[in-house]
Amino acid sequence: MLKINCPICGNRDETEFSCGGEAHIARPIADNKLTDTAFSEYLFMRDNPKGVFLERWCHTSGCRRWFNLARDTISHEIIEIYPMGQTPKTAKGKKAYQANWRRKSKAEAASKPAKRTVK
């Protein structure tokens, strides 16, 4: 059972948290036209590395805040915890972030407002 250092509440048992899966999946804006294939990469395809994985967690039973976490899926070691909206700072975390195929995906490109903006 993991011990997770919530940035707000400190060390707590894993049972107090919920895991939101892969982090840094940018949501394509519906207005930006994407093929069904490219959209399915956003919707269903998931990074599932054996090694460092960037994922997001929420301290559900505590402060209810979301945060990002870099975790080794073999040893379960938590390498880094960093705020929502930021990218990892550790070397391992950075590498995992940059190496991810998603950085080059069409869906990610479509997450930024294109011609029209939403609002």
Q: Does 6 bind Zn ion (CB under 5 A)?
A: yes
Least spacing, CB of residue 97 vs other proteins, in Å: 16
Structure tokens of 5?
């250092």
Q: What share of the chain is helix, strand, coil (3-state, %, to 5)?
A: 25, 30, 50
Query: Alpha helix (H) ranges present in 6-119?
Result: 36-43, 91-99, 106-109
Judged by beta carbon, residue 16 or residue 47, the one nearer Zn ion is 16
Look at residues 75, 100, 117, 116 and name the one whose alpha carbon lies nearest to residue 25. Answer: 100
Cα gap 51→72, rounded to integer Å: 5
| Interface of this chain with other proteins, residues 95 to 114, rule: CB under 8 A | 101
Q: Does 2 bind other proteins (CB under 8 A)?
A: yes
Which residue in the set 60, 92, 106, 109 belongs to the binding site for other proteins (CB under 8 A)?
60
| Interface of this chain with Zn ion, residues 57 to 96, rule: CB under 5 A | 59, 62-63
Residue 73 site contact among Zn ion, other proteins, none (CB < 5 to 8 Å, cut-off depends on kind): other proteins
Neighbours of 88 (CB within 10 A): 23
Which positions touch other proteins (CB under 8 A)?
1-3, 8-10, 12-16, 18-21, 27-31, 34, 36-37, 39-41, 43-50, 53, 55-56, 58, 60-66, 71, 73-76, 84-85, 101, 116, 118-119
